[in-house]
């Protein structure tokens, strides 16, 4: 087996479609064994079949089920070397219209599972002798905010903060923790919240003159998961085509 992740065992959450599915495919192409976690049974099964991995269906709002699903995935892989916390939701609402239920649900899907999965994965990595990489998915919204994104931007900013704390506390075990802050990537989730006019306006903001592709994010996740980034931890890397510098 060859590739930058040859022999590595990776778990990717939210990998039924979009960026998560692209990360799973990229990791598998680079030699990793991949377990897919997602709330969509059909989507998880499809991605798992593509990458020759295993599918584990879980609603990440359920803490106990999340722990159990990740432990099951680690068991299926025979251990874990890489965790990618990609799962999340993107919903928009004016600040004055965000309810506390909206707020709590956003954090329950986008932030809390990062803590739960990190705890499970890090304990397994430490028990195996240490070492490993965790890649969390934040967002450009964590850097710049955005109208209608109060709860989303706050949750993603918290992912950045949790990444830094995790890097500090787990570095002594050889575990690196970093996160990505993608800009506008026209996935199914992103496309559902943007008009053609908005897409054109966002495109004009990038010095590169284009929006992001799922492969742009996946390749950066690959770098962070690989030995090429073995002296990189606690970082929040912008993948924004220059929209944030």
Main-chain dihedrals φ then ψ at residue 181, nearest 5 degrees: -120, 80
Residue 58: closest CA among 138, 128, 120: 120
Give the chain's end-to-end CA distance (angstroms, integer). 38
If you compute the radius of gyration of the chain from its CA atoms, what whole number of angstroms results?
17
**Active-site annotation holds for 231:** no
Pull the structure tokens for residue 128: 């195996």
Q: Give residues with Cβ within 8 angstroms of 34, minimum separation 6.
A: 10, 11, 12, 15, 24, 27, 28, 48, 51, 52, 53
Query: Listing from the earlier edge strand, what are the strands of the sheet with 236-239?
Result: 54-57, 33-38, 9-13, 82-85, 132-137, 175-182, 236-239
Residue 36 main-chain phi, psi, to 5 deg: -110, 125
From 152, 176, 180, 229, the catalytic residue: 152
Question: Quick count: other Cβ atoms within 10 Å of Cβ 84?
Answer: 30
- Residues annotated as catalytic (active site), given as ranges: 152
């Amino acid at each position: 087996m060859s590739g930058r992740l040859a022999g590595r065992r990776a778990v990717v959450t939210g990998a039924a479609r979009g960026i998560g599915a692209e990360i799973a495919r990229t990791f598998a192409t680079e030699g990793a064994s991949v377990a897919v976690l997602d709330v969509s049974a059909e989507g998880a099964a499809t991605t798992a079949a593509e990458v020759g991995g295993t599918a584990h269906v879980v609603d990440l709002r359920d803490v106990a089920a999340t722990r159990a699903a990740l432990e099951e995935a680690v068991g299926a892989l025979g251990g874990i070397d890489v965790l990618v916390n990609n799962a999340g939701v993107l919903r928009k609402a004016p600040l004055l219209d965000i309810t506390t239920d909206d707020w709590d649900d956003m954090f329950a899907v986008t932030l809390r599972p990062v803590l739960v999965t990190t705890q499970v994965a890090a304990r397994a990595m430490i028990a195996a002798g240490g070492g490993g990489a965790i890649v969390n998915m934040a967002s450009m919204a964590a850097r710049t905010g955005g109208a209608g994104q109060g709860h989303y931007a706050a949750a993603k900013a918290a992912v950045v903060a949790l990444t830094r704390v995790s890097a500090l506390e787990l570095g002594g075990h050889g575990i690196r923790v970093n996160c990505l802050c993608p800009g506008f990537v026209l996935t199914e989730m992103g496309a559902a919240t943007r008009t053609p006019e908005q897409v054109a306006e966002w495109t004009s903001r990038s010095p590169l003159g284009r929006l992001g592709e799922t492969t742009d994010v996946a390749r950066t996740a690959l770098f962070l998961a690989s030995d090429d980034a073995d002296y990189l931890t606690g970082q929040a890397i912008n993948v924004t085509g220059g929209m944030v510098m």
